[in-house]
Amino acid sequence: MRNLITDVPGLRVGNAKDEAVRTGVTVLLPDRGAICAVDVRGGAPGTRETDLLDPACLSERADAIVLSGGSLFGLDAASGAMHWLRKKGRGGRFLDATIPSVPSAIIFDQHNEGDKSWQDEHLYFNLAKQAAEAADLDFALGTEGAGTGTKAGGLKGGLGSASQKLHNGATVGALVVVNSFGQVVMPGSRRFWAADFERAGEFGACAEAPPPAPVLTEIPEFAEPGLNTTLAVIATDLTLTKAQLKRVAMVAQDGLARAIHPVHTPFDGDVIFCLSTGQRAMGTEEVDVTRLGMAAVECLARATARGVYEATPLGPFPTYRSLT
């Protein structure tokens, strides 16, 4: 296993970035359209096509999921992925037209001292096409893709991923862009909030006991709604309905709560997509959905810490590995 979301059969991930602008795009590509749902928990989300993922709506499948920097400018990334997919002949057929479905969400990364006077007005459109073209089973974490210009509390944020096998042989994986208002480490220490979930030293095996310091209680004066967001995708090869995937996405939000403090604030636009590649039959419905939700919580907590741990220097924020 790669310990990546691409351990779920039928998925690939690609990244593209612009280091001068300090921004980027991550594209998750199913080999074929995947059933998908979404749960939006943050107070300042930026999304596209998420209403279609409601269980009450007609559309069931996503041909790609795009996570992008750029704030509202980054919503243009979905158009780039759509055009890339259309040229590949992928998407739903509507009369004589092929129209890919590309749900997407954005983070705010306009505060990282990058050059935001870029001349390419189609920056995110083009980055998404590059990311889709680069999609593979292996992909880089940390300061990559949509994690390029991120921060996590007072640290450099990043792109994270993790996976695990369930008792029945099914696989669950998580992909996350950590750009949180809240902290990922306990105050006054190097210990991740998610430390108890770590596997095989995947984020440094730093399990030092936290000091008796108070949790964040004061809101920084510069904090404003919309300046932070953590985006995530949960994936499995179990065959689930949209309603079941919605429930798993809702439960998976607890993974962010176990890795970031505080979370789901008015300053964040936290969004979790949940998709199924449909390659493995369900067993006992309620039991499998429950077990999948439990695994999703753990995977997402691990992926969040791993994204910050893997981050390399870019911009004004110190990296986790620079802490002493």
In tens, the pLDDT along 283-297 reads 777 778 899 999 999
**For range 232-255, the mean pLDDT:** 96
Q: Give pLDDT, residue 209.
A: 63
pLDDT (mean) for 274-279: 94
Residues 126-142, mean pLDDT to the nearest whole number: 98
CA dist 66 and 64 (Å) reads 6
**Average confidence (pLDDT) over 114-127:** 85
pLDDT number for residue 121? 83
Q: How many CB atoms lie under 10 A from the CB of residue 17?
A: 25
Give the mean pLDDT of 241-268: 92
Taking the C-alpha atoms of residue 203 and residue 182, their distance in angstroms, rounded to an integer, is: 18
The mean of the pLDDT values for the chain is 90
Confidence label for 217 from pLDDT (cuts 50, 70 and 90): low
Q: Does residue 176 surpass a pLDDT of 60?
A: yes
Q: Is the pLDDT of residue 84 over 80?
A: yes
Average pLDDT over residues 182-199: 91
pLDDT at 57 over 80: yes
- What pLDDT, on the 0 to 100 scale, is given for residue 231? 97
pLDDT of the residue at 298: 97
Q: Is the pLDDT of residue 211 over 70?
A: no
Which pLDDT value is given to residue 216? Answer: 54
In which band, very low, low, confident or very high, does the pLDDT at 115 lie, cut at 50, 70 and 90? confident
Percent of the chain with pLDDT over 90: 68
Tens digit of pLDDT for each residue in 158-171?
A: 999 999 999 888 99
Reduced to 3 states, what is the DSSP secondary structure of residue 24? strand
Q: Identify the band that residue 43 occupies on the pLDDT scale cut at 50, 70 and 90.
A: confident
Six token digits for residue 199: 């596997």
Quick count: other Cβ atoms within 10 Å of Cβ 89? 8
- Non-local CB neighbours of 222 within 8 Å, separated by 6+ positions: none
- CA 28, distance to chain mean position in Å, is 10
pLDDT of residue 238 exceeding 90, the answer is: yes
Identify the burial level of 211 via C-beta atoms within 10 angstroms of its C-beta, where 0-12 means exposed, 13-18 middle and 19 or more buried: exposed
Q: According to the model, what pLDDT value does residue 269 have?
A: 83
Residue 213 has a pLDDT of 53
CATH of domain 5-322: 3.60.70.12
3-class secondary-structure state, position 123: helix
Sheet-wide strand order for 23-30: 11-18, 23-30, 65-68, 104-106, 47-48
Which 8-state DSSP code applies to residue 125? H
Q: Are strands 155-156 and 151-152 parallel, antiparallel or unpaired?
A: antiparallel
pLDDT of residue 219: 61
